[in-house]
Amino acid sequence: GVGGAAGARPLRPRAARERPPRAIQEKREIFQDLAPLLWHSFGTIAALLQEIVSIYPALSPPVLSAGASNRVCNALALLQCVASHPDTRIPFLHAHVPLFLYPFLNTFSKTRPFEYLRLTSLGVIGALVKVDDTEVIGFLLQTEIIPLCLRTMEMGSELSKTVATFIVQKILLDDIGLRYVCATPERFYAVGSVLGNMVISLADQPSTRLLKHIIRCYLRLSDNPRACVALHNCLPDMLKDGTFNISLRDDPATRRWLQQLLHNVTVGGMGGPGMGVPPQPGLDHMMGI
């Protein structure tokens, strides 16, 4: 009602509140202007955020039920729609809505309700970074998204690891993101050590799509002269000895990235230029090409 307190729960039964977000989500693929409608409709975003905040108490200790996780994932799917749309992406950012998702990325439980929650939250952040926009990258860096992504890259499922690594990749591809990660040895080591551990784990459980994003992250790090010298000493041997030749057999683009990475690290480690030089033919044998 008009006199209701701010943030008060609607007076409808919970079951009634669950139906509209799910119904809207089912229509979002065919209704292209859903994002502006959601953003500008009175109270809609507030209701979605209320749904999100309502499960914070279930995060620690981790007692989140499958039903509660599903409700919030429906709300997050609608927020992803808003984050994806060119007319609502920046207002969405200026309202600091992504910060409401960070507690979900800060969880440790590997149960399915928590994993779905992390994956859907990463989907919202992934939607923001898909379009190259320095303002988006700046916001994410200032709000410490990288440590949260690194956590998922260490302990998430293959799919959530892939999305988290994609987000880090898109951040690195922006100049301010690369400068940020390479600004201190601690930041570089944090990213490099997680990437290295992921490479080792992929030797036992191959995932071409995850490996692709890892190699692209390494290649972008090699654009920074100091990072390139460091990679000369710490790049995992499995990227050099042909371990992943079979995995990359049908992915020529990633093979070229790896070949360029090996070239950059070889030349950069000797004090030479990093990028802009064609890969040396002598490196081809490492790729099985």
**What is the DSSP secondary-structure string of 204-265?**
HS--HHHHHHHHHHHHHHTTSHHHHHHHHHHS-GGGTTTTTTTTTTT-HHHHHHHHHHHHHH
From the centroid of its chain, how far is CA 273?
Answer: 30
Question: Which pLDDT score, from 0 to 100, does residue 17 have?
Answer: 45
Which H helix or E strand runs over 17? helix 14-27
CA 73 – CA 68 distance, rounded (Å): 9
CB 283 within 8 A of CB 262: yes
Question: Which pLDDT score, from 0 to 100, does residue 268 have?
Answer: 77
CA 77 – CA 173 distance, rounded (Å): 26
Q: Which of 44, 139, 49 is nearest to 90 (CA)?
A: 139
Question: Which pLDDT score, from 0 to 100, does residue 275 have?
Answer: 40
pTM: 0.84
Nearby residues of 133 by Cβ (< 8 Å), 6 or more positions away? 89, 90
Question: Which pLDDT score, from 0 to 100, does residue 33 have?
Answer: 86
CA 128 – CA 166 distance, rounded (Å): 12
CB 52 within 8 A of CB 72: yes
Mean pLDDT by 10 residues, the chain (289 residues): 38 42 58 89 96 97 96 96 95 97 96 97 97 96 97 96 98 98 96 97 93 98 96 94 92 96 88 44 35
Question: Which pLDDT score, from 0 to 100, does residue 25 have?
Answer: 57
